Amino acid sequence: MVMSACEARLAGHPDRLRWNDRYAAGAAPAFVPHPLAVRALAEVGNLPAGDQYPGPRGLASPDGPVADLACGPSGTALLAAASGRHVTAVDVSEVALDLLAAEARRRGLAHLITLVHTDLSGWRPRPRSFAVVLCTGFWEAAVFPAAAAAVAPGGLLGWEAFTEQARRVRPGLDHRWCLADGEPASLLPPDFTVLDQSDLRGGQRRQMLARRAR
Ligand SMILES: C[S@@+](CC[C@H](N)C(=O)[O-])C[C@H]1O[C@@H](n2cnc3c(N)ncnc32)[C@H](O)[C@@H]1O
C-alpha cells in the first residue's frame, strides 16, 4: 500500500474519491504507455533495448529521472523504468498507485519507481530536477508552472489534455480541466522550445512536447 502521511489531508478530496471509485470499479489496467510518453522517451534516446518503438534517438538529452504526473496505473512509468530511468509517479488516487506498484513489482521494476500520493495542485518538485516531465489526461493551469520548472536543462516536457472544444460534446467537463486556445505552449517559460503542439480527436485533445534550453 502507498497510503501515507498525506492520507488524512486527502481523505475527502473529490478527485481522489472519484478516481478511486473509477479504478476500483474498472477492468484490470492494460499498462499501455501513452503515445506522447513513447515519443518523449524515444527523443531522449532512452527506450529499452530491443523495443518496438520507432523514433529519433539520443538527441543530447540529460541524464536524470522521469516524472509522470497524474500517472494513473501507468504504462508510461513502467516503460520509463524499463529503460533504466528512475521515475517519480504522482497521483491523488492510491488505488491507481497500488495497481502501478503491483505491476512494477511483477516486472521487477519497483526499485526504480517512487510513488507519490498527493494532490498535484500542491506538489512542488525540486526545480530543474527531471530529465523528462510527462502529464497525460490531466490539466489544471496551476500545476503547469511547477511542472515546467521541474524540467532539467536540455530536458523535455510533454503534456496531453482535453481542450475547450471537448466541452461541446462533454457538457459536464469542468472548464478548469480544459486547455484554452494556444495552451499549454503559450504558458511555457521563455527558455523552452516547442517541438510539437497538435490537436487530436477532432480538436478535443491537444498534446505538446517542448525542450528546455541547456
Ligand atoms: C485520465 S487519468 C490519466 C491517467 C494517465 N496519465 C493516462 O494518461 O492514462 C487522470 C488521472 O489524474 C489523477 N488526478 C486527478 N486529479 C488529480 C489531482 N488533483 N492530483 C493528482 N492526480 C490527480 C487521477 O487519479 C487519474 O489517475
Alpha helices in the chain (DSSP H): 7-10, 14-25, 35-43, 75-82, 94-106, 144-149
The pLDDT tens digits for 61-70 are: 688 999 999 9
The answer to whether position 2 is within a domain reads no
The answer to whether position 116 is within a domain reads yes
The pLDDT tens digits for 95-124 are: 999 999 999 999 999 999 999 999 999 999
Task: Say what the alpha-carbon torsion angle 48, 54, 58, 62 is, to the nearest 10 degrees.
Answer: -70
The answer to whether position 38 is within a domain reads yes
Q: What is the CATH number of the domain that holds 149?
A: 3.40.50.150
Please tell me the distance between residue 90's alpha carbon and the centre of ligand 1 in angstroms. 9
- Global model pTM greater than 0.85: yes
The answer to whether position 72 is within a domain reads yes
- For range 7-17, the mean pLDDT: 91
Classify residue 95 as exposed, middle or buried by CB count within 10 Å of its CB (0-12, 13-18, 19+). buried
The answer to whether position 112 is within a domain reads yes
Domain count, the chain: 1
The answer to whether position 149 is within a domain reads yes
Inter-axis angle of helices 75-82 and 35-43, nearest 10: 20
Domain ranges, residue 58: 7-47+54-212
The answer to whether position 11 is within a domain reads yes
pLDDT band at 1 (very low <50, low <70, confident <90, very high): very low
Q: Among 3, 20, 36, 92, which is best to mutate for testing ligand 1, by the most ligand atoms less than 8 A from CB?
A: 92
**Nearest CA, atom 4, ligand 1:** 72
Q: What percent of the chain has pLDDT over 90?
A: 84
Distances (CA, A) of 94 to 47, 68, 73, 86: 27, 15, 10, 20
Name the residue with higher pLDDT: 47 or 34: 34
Q: Which residues line ligand 1 (CB under 6 A)?
A: 15, 19, 34, 70-72, 74, 91-93, 96, 119-121, 136-138
The answer to whether position 105 is within a domain reads yes
